[in-house]
Amino acid sequence: MGKRHKFGGCGGAILKMGKGKATIRDVNGQIVEGEIISAQEKESVFQKSVPILPIPLAYLIAFLNMVPGLGTILGAIIHIFTGKSSYDSKLKGVIVGLITGILQALLAVVVVGWFWSLMHGAYFVRKANAHEHPEECGQSVV
């Protein structure tokens, strides 16, 4: 077994990536090739508030988000009673979720909120799928 390197956020520069392999220049200037074992998507402050829900409920939330903020606010309310989010505190997840839904509704006037709401609804579904089928998504979610 070869030497292990941690690449993310340590000052290394990725030179080449593809087909599960990466070539990087590490912090010491050495060029190292390695296999990508896993990758984790960084969640935004708003995405962290999305609770892990059963897939059918996540689809319902996504559908309701066609009315900007409606599904997001409902998701935050559901989060009070069940599920967990990427935040350590349930209260923080609920508050950020409610603020997100309100912002989506307010920004719908300038169309931005409507697109944000649709993308956020899709994220509910992605997070639910990643939690129920982590091997298919190639990632782990809280």
Task: Check whether 100 has a pLDDT greater than 90.
Answer: yes
Per residue in 60-83, pLDDT (tens digit) is 999 999 999 999 999 999 988 876
Q: CA 59, CA 26: separation in Å to the nearest integer?
A: 42
What pLDDT score was predicted for residue 28? 77
Task: Check whether 107 has a pLDDT greater than 60.
Answer: yes
* Helix (H), strand (E), coil (C) string for 30-53: CEEEEECCCCCCCCCHHHHCCCCC
Q: Which residue has the tokens 């129920």?
A: 132
Q: CA 126, CA 142: separation in Å to the nearest integer?
A: 13
Q: What percent of the chain has pLDDT over 90?
A: 42
Q: Which residue has the tokens 């990632």?
A: 139
* Domain extents in the chain: 1-37, 45-137
The model's confidence at residue 17, banded by pLDDT at 50, 70 and 90, is low
CB 34 within 8 A of CB 22: yes
